[in-house]
Amino acid sequence: MCLGRQKWGTDVTNDLAEFARAKNVKYFMISYTDLFGGQRAKLVPAQAIGDMQKDGAGFAGFATWLDLTPAHPDMLAKVVEAVATRPI
């Protein structure tokens, strides 16, 4: 965790739950890019970000253009590294 930087958009941490407590963050936007370059995202409450960071975030597979239907199970996107933060 970078403790020397205090401005939004520059803090990098490996513990998003700790970051949420320190910065009073209520929600995180977890996103990934699908096969056609479209951005897919979901809002995650700060209380659940630790689980998302550990287990990944579920996304509907049919929305990713992988020849899946709504009947298929969700896909998990793993939060590998939080590179930067920015308030929305």
Which amino acid type is present at position 54?
K
∠ CA 79-83-88, nearest 5°, is: 90
The pair phi, psi for residue 85, each rounded to 5°, is -125, 150
Query: pLDDT tens digits for 12-24?
Result: 567 888 888 998 9
What is the predicted pLDDT for the residue at 40? 82
**Going from the N-terminus, what domains does the chain have, and what CATH number goes with each?**
16-77 (3.10.20.70)
Query: What does pLDDT average to over the chain?
Result: 76
- Average pLDDT value for residue range 30-36: 79
Above 50 in pLDDT, residue 6? no
Query: pLDDT tens digits for 52-80?
Result: 888 877 788 777 777 888 888 887 777 65
pTM: 0.67
